[in-house]
Amino acid sequence: MQPADIKNVKITDEFWSRKQALVKKEVIPYQWEILNDRIPEAEASYCMHNFKAAGLLNEKMRKKGDAFEAPRFTYRGFAVFPEKREDAKDDEFYGFVFQDSDLYKWIEAVGYSLMTNPDPVLEETADHAIDIVCAAQLPNGYLDTYYIINGMDKSFSDLRDHHELYCLGHLIEGAVAYYLATGKDKLLKAAERYADHVASLFGNGEGKINGYPGHEIAEMALFALYDLTGEERYKALAEYFIDERGKEPNYFEKEHPDMKGKPDYYHQAHMPVREQTEAVGHAVRAVYLYSGMADMARLTGDKSLLDACEKLFESIVDTKMYITGGIGATHLGESFSLPYDLPNDTAYSETCAAIGLVFFAERMLRIKADSKYADVMELALYNTVLSGMALDGKSFFYVNPLEVIPENCKKDERKTHVKPVRQKWFGCACCPPNIARLISSLGRYIFTEDDTTLYTHLYAGCETTKTVNGKNVSVSMQSGFPNTGNVRITVTGAAGSDFTLALRVPGWTGGRYSLNMTGASEKETKNGYIYLTGFEDEAAIEISFDMIPRLISADTRVAEDNFKAAVTRGPVVYCMEGVDNGENLRQIKIDKRGTITEEVSDEFGYDVVTLKASAKRIIPAKTDFKPFGGLYSEFTSVEEKEISLRLIPYYLWANRGENEMSVYINI
């Protein structure tokens, strides 16, 4: 099974097109300014500086003294190359060791965006950025400006903490996207050369490096490069990284002898990957690894690896995932915490980790169409991923808490990672470009396909075609998601073919949906998918999924959520905000037998379904008897005030200024 060819999926969906347009209009241009250090109030990126500096040095090495003249042109009225930074020297590297990856992520987002929204000026800008990248590449294929500038003698000497293989991964992902979008292969060839160079150095032979990435991503990127090129050597290199990880003697311990004997959970290098059953360590790293493992399991049919993937997926979903699809409960190491430890107010739940969970789930779907994977993919996407970006596309959450009391976040040192409103941009700029590339590439998450079957995982309006038994089948989907559960799909040209359409029944429907169709018939329902076959030349399918609002409670072992419930509607998790309901949200108790009504609001710039629930605000009766100082009073009774509780989708929180927010409500 493969994802549908992204170039062949045209998004027509109102909800998602709006997000994609926002990425194109706001995120991509803003990030370009950032990469070029043209936003005075933002932290300096130096990313383009580093490539330019590396190119200069590289050129000097090659031409023995000739100056490297970087191409100059303008984009949106700005010179692509800024005036030389006052503080930046031509031969110095600045920023994080993984600074290069910021440009690669930008190029990836640009690539996917160009597929849906062609833009010759943006494409030209990206072409020139690619020229700069390629000028920095060493003749042997090496491409990481940190070591090119600081000296190659230490290259690949710190796989654990430095990010050369991470940058390789993002380079490949950017190059693949840009090639798919434009057919231009300059960056793709550069990526292949870098991958070939790495492949020549790594392995178990004499004088080879038998390590693997400290921050995973190269694995899944190399499999994507293999999927595109069919070159076995990329698959082999990715497999090598996965097979070696966590083996004894531990490679990272060799690099860092001070860590000897301490299991390296953080980098998922505590044991061989096939033995791993619990999701641990840095959450983004973890799900990037698991995505690569799933790719390998799919391509090799390796049963033990597939077992590990399934166990790790279950470990996340059954014990370590917030109801928002967020993962990574603790800011300490941006990591998974222990099972059932899912604090709401000190949550980490990094946007990038939710994105990584989407990657992992999508890869599991390529192995098996089981709605349990699509449910999680959808949950992460509609909640934590979308929460990461403001409505105006100009500010972002890195951390996605499930409860916020703004004053506490600001003053309590244990919550300094939690921000009550989205921030402009970050020094470590992983989340905004990660959102940009995911939203721009949404077309690859809607379907997977095999020879005859188109599996529909996400209900987002789009058009695609598929060739079955030599017939060109056109599929057009209209979807009311997430406002309504109504989906209409038309299929034309499938008559006489084996074309099969598999429609996911989301877990949140509880199996409640209505299906009507003409020109096709229901064959079976399996693993959460309805299989339709027997298509006539024109077929119309209407399926309506039940989106009744529901009260959802967490497993009682999640101590933080005892006596609380969250409200969900379809795939969307709701929250309450102070601006609607008054502050001190912890005083609110939802009527557990009350009905929850829907209202369509245009307050957020487009139609959004908000909810009203009957609830009480409960305030302990004031007593003057304070036996132990001003803080403590004898409890006598509570004053209960009926209120109408307004709930909005979680992904929209903090778009109306700073205020309290909580997903969980007392029951």
Task: Locate 370 and state its tokens.
Answer: 């089981």
Q: How many C-beta atoms surround the C-beta of residue 140 within 10 A?
A: 13
* Helix (H) or strand (E) run with residue 196 in it: helix 186-201
Q: Is 583 a catalytic residue?
A: no
Calculated CA dihedral for residues 273, 277, 283, 289, nearest 10 degrees: 30
CB of 346 to a copy of itself, least distance (A): 7
CB of 603 to a copy of itself, least distance (A): 27
- Helix extents (H) in 327-426: 351-367, 371-380, 386-387, 406-411
Q: By rule CB under 8 A, what count of residues binds a copy of itself?
A: 67
Give the Å distances, CA to CA, from 583 to 491, 587, 657. Answer: 50, 9, 13
Residue closer to a copy of itself (CB basis): 277 or 490? 277
CB of 330 to a copy of itself, least distance (A): 6
Residue closer to a copy of itself (CB basis): 163 or 320? 320
Q: Which region among 153-161, 408-416, 438-446, 600-608 touches a copy of itself (by CB under 8 A)?
A: 408-416
Q: Which region among 118-126, 204-212, 291-299, 312-320 touches a copy of itself (by CB under 8 A)?
A: 312-320
- Helix extents (H) in 47-119: 47-63, 100-116
Residue closer to a copy of itself (CB basis): 152 or 332? 332
CB of 590 to a copy of itself, least distance (A): 10
Which residues 6+ apart lie within 8 Å of 618 measured at CB? Answer: 587, 588, 589, 638, 639, 640, 641, 666
State which of positions 465-524 bind a copy of itself (CB under 8 A): 506-510
384 part of the interface to a copy of itself, by CB under 8 A = no
Q: Is 430 a catalytic residue?
A: yes
404 part of the interface to a copy of itself, by CB under 8 A = no
Phi and psi based region of residue 511 (left: phi greater than 0; alpha: psi -120 to 50; beta: remaining):
left
Q: Of the residues 334, 350, 403, 449, which is catalytic?
A: 334
CB of 319 to a copy of itself, least distance (A): 7
State which of positions 3-62 bind a copy of itself (CB under 8 A): none
Write the secondary structure of 209-226 as one string of H (helix), E (strand) and C (coil): ECCCCCCCCHHHHHHHHH
319 part of the interface to a copy of itself, by CB under 8 A = yes
Q: Of the residues 430, 431, 462, 575, which is catalytic?
A: 430
d(CA 263, CA 151): 31
Identify whether the C-beta of residue 295 lies closer than 8 Å to the C-beta of residue 273.
no
Residue closer to a copy of itself (CB basis): 27 or 558? 558
556 part of the interface to a copy of itself, by CB under 8 A = yes
Residue closer to a copy of itself (CB basis): 568 or 581? 568
259 part of the interface to a copy of itself, by CB under 8 A = no
Closest to 193 in 3D by CA, of 123, 156, 138, 247? 138
User: Exposure pattern of 281-299 as b/e (b: 16+ CB <10 Å)?
Assistant: bbbbbbbbbbbbbbbbbbb
Task: Locate 275 and state its tokens.
Answer: 């033995």
User: What is the distance in angstroms between the CA of the first residue and the CA of the last residue of the chain?
Assistant: 44
Identify whether the C-beta of residue 2 lies closer than 8 Å to the C-beta of residue 449.
yes
Task: Out of 168, 191, 279, 551, point to the residue binding a copy of itself (CB under 8 A).
Answer: 551
Residue closer to a copy of itself (CB basis): 196 or 345? 345
d(CA 457, CA 477): 12
Q: Which region among 35-43, 304-312, 406-414, 516-524 touches a copy of itself (by CB under 8 A)?
A: 406-414
Residue closer to a copy of itself (CB basis): 340 or 531? 340
Return residues touching a copy of itself (CB under 8 A).
314, 317-319, 321, 323, 325, 330, 332-333, 337-338, 340-341, 346, 372, 375-376, 379, 405, 407-408, 411-414, 506-510, 550-556, 558-559, 562-563, 565-566, 568, 584, 586-587, 589, 592, 618-620, 625-635, 637, 666-667
Active site residues: 334, 430
